[in-house]
Structure 1
Amino acid sequence: MATGAAAAGLAVAAGAVSVAGPWDGGLRTAEREQAAAADAERDRTEAERVADTLPVAAPVLAPVDGAGAPAVSPDALAATLAPLLESAALGPEPAGAVIDLSTGEPLWTREERSGRTPASTVKVAVAAAALHALGPDHRLATTAVWDEEEERVVLVGGGDPTLSDEDLRALAREAAAELAGREIRTARVAYDLSLYPREQLHPIGVNDNIALITPLQVNEGRTDGSAHGPAPRADDPAAEAAGAFAAHLAGAGLRVEDRPRRADAPEDADRLATQRSAPMSTLVEDMLTYSDNDLAEAIGRATALASGEEADFRGVGRALTGQLRELGLPLDGVRFADASGLDRQGRTTAALLTRALAAAADPARPELRAVLTGLPVAGFSGTLADRYEDSAGTGLVRAKTGTLTGVNTLAGTAVTPDGRPLAFAFLASDTSDGTAAARALDDAASALAACACR
Structure 2
Amino acid sequence: MVLVERRVWRAARPRLARVEQAVVPRLARAARAVRPRSGRFTTPQLTGVAALLGLALAAGLVTAAGPWDSAGQRTAERDRATAWDREGGADHGGGSGATGDAPAPAPSAASVLAALGAVTGDTGPQTPAGLTHVLDPLLRDASLGPRRSAVVLDVASGRRLYAKGADDALTPASTTKIATAVAVLSAAGPDHRFTTRAMLEPGGDKLVLVGGGDPTLTAREKADGASLRTLAEKTATALKQRHVTSVALSYDTSLFAGKALHPIGVNPNLAEVTALMADEGRADAATSGPADRVPDPAADAARTFGDLLGRHGIKTSAPRAAKATPHARTVAFAQSPPLSAVVERMLTTSDNDIAEALARQTALATGGRPSFDGGGAAIAAQLKKLGLPLKGAHFGDGSGLNRDDRTTAGLLTALLATAGSPAHPELRTVLTGLPVAGFTGTLSDRYEDDAQRFGIGVVRAKTGSLTGVNALAGTVVDTEGRLMAFAFLTDGSMDQTTARAALDRMAAALAHCGCR
Structure 2 residue 138 is the aligned partner of structure 1 residue 84: yes
Change (3 A) 1:17 1:381: closer
Equivalent-residue separation in structure 2 for 1:350 and 1:227 (angstroms): 34
Normalized against structure 2, the TM-score is what?
0.78
Structure 2 residue 175 is the aligned partner of structure 1 residue 121: yes
Equivalent-residue separation in structure 1 for 2:284 and 2:104 (angstroms): 25
Q: Which residue of 2 aligns with 1:137?
A: 191
Structure 2 residue 363 is the aligned partner of structure 1 residue 292: no
Aligned residue type for 1:108: Y
Q: Which residue of 2 aligns with 1:95?
A: 149
Q: Which residue of 2 aligns with 1:303?
A: 362
2:363, 2:375 within 8 Å by CA — same for their partners in 1? yes
1:22, 1:60 within 8 Å by CA — same for their partners in 2? no
Q: Structure 1 segments of 4 or more deviating over 6 A?
A: 11-14
Equivalent-residue separation in structure 1 for 2:283 and 2:228 (angstroms): 16
Question: Unaligned 5+ residue runs, structure 1?
Answer: 1-10, 52-57
Aligned residue type for 2:192: H
Question: Unaligned 5+ residue runs, structure 2?
Answer: 1-58, 70-74, 91-96, 98-102, 222-226
Listed one character per residue, the Cα deviations across residues 42-65 of structure 1 (whole Å, up to 9, x for unaligned) are xx99944x78xxxxxx96752533
Structure 2 residue 448 is the aligned partner of structure 1 residue 376: no
Q: Displacement, 1:206?
A: 1.9
Equivalent-residue separation in structure 2 for 1:64 and 1:202 (angstroms): 41
**SS class of match (2:171):** coil
Q: Which residue of 2 aligns with 1:55?
A: none
Aligned residue type for 1:350: A
**SS class of match (2:198):** strand
Change (3 A) 1:15 1:181: closer
1:18, 1:60 within 8 Å by CA — same for their partners in 2? no
Decide which of 304, 312, 315 is 1:255's aligned counterpart: 315
Q: Which residue of 2 aligns with 1:154?
A: 208
Q: Displacement, 1:84?
A: 0.2
Normalized against structure 1, the TM-score is what?
0.88
1:45, 1:282 within 8 Å by CA — same for their partners in 2? no
Equivalent-residue separation in structure 2 for 1:345 and 1:337 (angstroms): 7
What is the count of residue pairs matched by the alignment? 427
Structure 2 residue 279 is the aligned partner of structure 1 residue 219: yes
Where in structure 2 are the equivalents of 1:297-376 lying within 5 Å? 297-376=356-435
Equivalent-residue separation in structure 2 for 1:18 and 1:193 (angstroms): 41
Listed one character per residue, the Cα deviations across residues 262-301 of structure 1 (whole Å, up to 9, x for unaligned) are 1000012111111000110011001100000000000111
**SS class of match (1:299):** helix
Equivalent-residue separation in structure 2 for 1:67 and 1:79 (angstroms): 26
Change (3 A) 1:227 1:309: farther
Structure 2 residue 253 is the aligned partner of structure 1 residue 193: yes
**SS class of match (1:94):** strand
**SS class of match (1:403):** strand
Change (3 A) 1:337 1:123: same
Q: Displacement, 1:227?
A: 5.4
Change (3 A) 1:346 1:35: closer
Listed one character per residue, the Cα deviations across residues 395-449 of structure 1 (whole Å, up to 9, x for unaligned) are 1110000000000000000121111211000000011111111000000011100
Equivalent-residue separation in structure 2 for 1:420 and 1:182 (angstroms): 61
Q: Which residue of 2 aligns with 1:105?
A: 159
Q: Displacement, 1:255?
A: 2.2
Aligned residue type for 1:315: G
Q: Displacement, 1:147?
A: 1.4
Listed one character per residue, the Cα deviations across residues 88-121 of structure 1 (whole Å, up to 9, x for unaligned) are 0111131111001121010011111111100000
**SS class of match (1:124):** helix
Aligned residue type for 2:378: A
Aligned residue type for 1:250: G
Equivalent-residue separation in structure 2 for 1:260 and 1:12 (angstroms): 56
Decide which of 118, 121, 126 is 1:65's aligned counterpart: 118
Equivalent-residue separation in structure 1 for 2:472 and 2:286 (angstroms): 26
Q: Which residue of 2 aligns with 1:450?
A: 512
Aligned residue type for 1:15: A
Listed one character per residue, the Cα deviations across residues 225-265 of structure 1 (whole Å, up to 9, x for unaligned) are 34531111111111110001111112111122x31111000
Equivalent-residue separation in structure 1 for 2:67 and 2:256 (angstroms): 45
Structure 2 residue 499 is the aligned partner of structure 1 residue 437: yes
Q: Displacement, 1:16?
A: 4.1
Change (3 A) 1:368 1:227: farther
Q: Displacement, 1:34?
A: 2.7
Q: Which residue of 1 aligns with 2:64?
A: 15
Structure 2 residue 239 is the aligned partner of structure 1 residue 179: yes
Q: Displacement, 1:15?
A: 3.0
Between 1:368-377 and 1:145-154, the stretch displaced more is: 145-154
Q: Displacement, 1:335?
A: 0.3
Measured on the aligned residues, the alpha-carbon RMSD in Å equals 2.6
> Larger Rg: 1 or 2?
2
